[in-house]
Chain A
Amino acid sequence: MKFTGTKEYISTKDLTIAVNAAITLERPLLVKGEPGTGKTELAKQVAISLGLEIFEWTIKSTTRAQQGLYEYDAVSRLRDSQIGDKNVSDVKRYIKKGKIWNAFESETKSVLLIDEIDKADVEFPNDLLQELDKMEFFVYETGEIIKSKKRPIVIITSNNEKELPDAFLRRCFFHYIQFPDNETLIKIVNVHFPGIKKTLLDRALHRFFEIRETPGLKKKPSTSEVLDWLKLLLTEDLDPSELKNDGKNLLPKLHGALLKNEQDIQLFERLAFIARGE
């Protein structure tokens, strides 16, 4: 079982090797990188290219490790007991399976995506150590042990908001997705917009890199932004010449797709102001 990238997803060599190492040794792969470089997409594409089912568990600041395993709704059970519901003695009715449980139950190999693990509490990753190592956990309420039928491929993404604990890191493979260089970016664009005219693409990417490299930007536009922007350019059917940088107008057409932040747009307006020499 080897991952090589898909038609929709250009995988660099280092990423491919990291993914394959994780698949072969059946250990989690931790993926970090700038927002918008395709961390979450990676898991989906691994699932697609290997033809596996994917279980996505998106983490929020309030998510607890236990929720990935299962949740026991004691309050409903108490309420039901008040009304005199007959099924109240059946504990299983009040246990809601989490994503990890679902993945463990899967008859075939699957992909388990734990998205943005750094959003949760600092202790969160530690709480999942045993579960991800042994791929089994214990359900206290029923006394069952849930063991994975086929060890899922675990892909974890992080946006660097928190340091992850060492014990957790030791068990993972790690990959940092860098912003793609020009060549890779062209490949990526061609995958998404196969028919794109070369002049338009060249000029657009040129402008894009100009914007990206402007110092002082709060949020640098990333792969997902450039794809959105090109999509707009294509639907508007702009002529490549309209993207020319004439020095007066530093921001290209439809820049709203690239810069999402008022301060960043103001920064360019100020630069344009200086460039006009007023």
Chain B
Amino acid sequence: MNKTSNYLRDWLLSLGENSSSMLLNLFSELKNARVPVSIQEYLNLLDCLNKNVIAFNVEDFYFLSRASLVKNEKHIDRFDLVFSNVFSGIEQIPIDELLSMVEIPKEWVEKLSEKFLTEKEMEEIQSLGGFDKLMETLKKRLAEQEKRHQGGNKWLGTAGTSPFGAFGYNPEGIRIGQNESRHQKAIKVWDKREFKDLDDKAELGTRAMKIALKRLRQWARTGVYEEIDLESTIKSTAKNGFLDVKTQPEKSNAVKVLLFLDVGGSMDSHIRKVEELFSASRSAFKYLEYFYFHNCLYEGVWKNNRRRWNNQTSTNDIFNTFGKEYKCIFVGDASMSPYEILYPGGANEHYNKISGKDWLERAINQWSSHIWINPVPQKYWNYTQSIEIINKIFSEKMVPLTLSGLDKGMKQLMV
């Protein structure tokens, strides 16, 4: 096993001296994909290869590089994409490097074929003169291809007529015409993208929601330490005539949150999620109050959507009830006609004397920590005028409903 593992190691290390090496390529591509990797981790990976932590196959190499380079499950999906790209992109590899890589130890190919090929396909290979012959032909083809400068993929054949295409055999990740329908087993671990849900750039899924929730708790809670209560220690020591240490719990966090939720639109399901998110973490806050509004804040809000027309609370009362120490969070898609924000009488369900913009500005003046969480994906924000208007009113404190968005929002609220 040691001997074979040296092949992979030597291969990778020899690439390490080459500026266009795959390993470095993997590293820089990870950087480009915004996976936070550092030199230290890269060196760790090299060290592991040096110390023969893994056997010689690509899958092991994938697992090892994942364990050393990725430190957060939310980045694993990005890592998978990059890995798949770097180790499959035949067009990205210079042709001579590819040719030199065809010099692969026989065991590799046999091992791989045991794994990926069916018996029938094995027989076919045998009928073509075995692996040696196959490699020989492959080399020839590649050389030919270089001369002719034709599109690489075509020559290596996805159509299935060339033996390479048909077998779709895959020495260390150079995908040569992989035919997935025939090779269901051969789908690489990294191509399964099992960690897709965990990427924090994606909109919140059910699972991600849970993590977000925990993040809120972190924001609201700080550890409670016992601290010495100097005053009562002195008092009690003087009184009793011996040292009597008194302690008291450290001041704990007391975050108060005021939520305004937009209901009655296409984003209802998202907004309900946010509501659940906050009420589930209710215990972490000292106070949590929520009110509903529709599209934009006007003179009245309500607590029960069923009784919204006959049981409204005046927004002015809310300003008077909830002091400046509250953190104010608006949740809504902010997508409406600009009139609904800018002009008195613009609201689409009733006549408003004061414009929505004025109401929003009053709210912002009242609560200096405020954000607007928008379930609409950020890339569409520029296309809706009203989103831009509200974002401006909120002095750019609008965040998308993603993990990283929430993170950013929470930071802004802490100021």
Report A's interface with B, CB cutoff 8 A: 13-14, 17-18, 20-21, 24-25, 27, 30, 32, 61-62, 64, 75, 78-79, 82, 120-122, 159-163, 166, 169-176, 178, 215-216
Q: Which partner residue on chain A sits nearest B36 by CB separation?
A: A166
Check A176–B195 contact: CB distance below 8 A: yes
Question: Contacts A78-B245, A166-B36 hold; do A17 and B224 have CB atoms under 8 A apart?
Answer: no
Q: Nearest 7 pairs between A and B by C-beta?
A: A18-B67, A169-B71, A176-B73, A14-B63, A17-B63, A121-B223, A161-B214
Answer whether residue B51 sits at the interface, using C-beta atoms and an 8 A cutoff: yes
Contacts of A18 in B (CB 8 A): 63-64, 67
CA distance A171 to B38 in the complex (A): 10
Q: How far is the CA of A219 from the CA of B218 in the complex (A)?
A: 19
Alpha-carbon distance A170/B72, docked complex (angstroms)? 11
Interface bin, chain B: 35 or more
Across the interface, name the chain B residue whose C-beta is closest to A216. Answer: B206
- Residue B194 interfacial (CB < 8 Å): yes
Establish whether residues A174 and B217, one from each chain, have CB atoms under 8 Å apart when the complex forms: no
User: A269 CB to closest chain B CB, in angstroms?
Assistant: 19
Assuming the contacts A62-B224, A75-B245, asked whether A13 and B63 have C-beta atoms less than 8 A apart, the reply is: yes
- Interchain CB contact (< 8 A) of A175 among B38, B44, B67: B67
Contact B67–A173 (Cβ < 8 Å): yes
Q: A17-B63, A162-B218 are in contact. Are A62 and B53 (CB under 8 A)?
A: no
**Complex Cα spacing A163 to B218, Å:** 9
Are A62 and B217 neighbours in the complex by a CB distance under 8 Å?
Answer: no
Asked whether, in the complex, the Cβ of B223 is within 8 Å of the Cβ of A78, the reply is no
Cβ proximity bits B230-270 to A, threshold 8 Å, 1 near / 0 not: 00000000000011010000000000000000000000000
Q: In the bound complex, do residue A21 and residue B48 qualify as a contact, i.e. CB atoms below 8 Å apart?
A: yes
- Whether, in the assembled complex, B211 has its beta carbon less than 8 Å from a beta carbon of chain A, the answer is yes
Tell me, yes or no, whether B40 is within 8 Å of chain A by CB: yes
Contact call A176/B76, Cβ cutoff below 8 A? yes
Least CB distance, A71 to chain B, in whole angstroms? 13
Interface string of B39-78 (1 = CB under 8 A from A): 0110010011001011000011001101110111100100
Task: Tell me which residues across on chain B come within 8 A of A120, comparing CB atoms.
Answer: 223
B67-A17 in contact (CB<8A)? yes
Q: What are some 16 contacts across the A-B interface (CB < 8 A)?
A: A17-B63, A18-B64, A21-B64, A27-B44, A61-B223, A61-B224, A64-B225, A79-B243, A121-B223, A162-B214, A163-B215, A170-B38, A170-B40, A173-B44, A174-B72, A176-B195
**B378: which A residues are within 8 A, CB to CB?**
none
Question: Which chain A residues border B198 with CB–CB below 8 Å?
Answer: 176
Are A24 and B222 in touch, CB under 8 angstroms? no
How many angstroms from the CA of A25 to the CA of B68 in the assembled complex? Answer: 11
Which residue of chain A lies nearest to B47 when distances are taken between CB atoms in the complex?
A25
Q: A161 touches which one: B44, B54, B67, B217 (CB < 8 A)?
A: B217
Q: Which residue of A lies closest to B61 (CB)?
A: A17
Residue contact B242 to A14, C-beta cutoff 8 Å? no
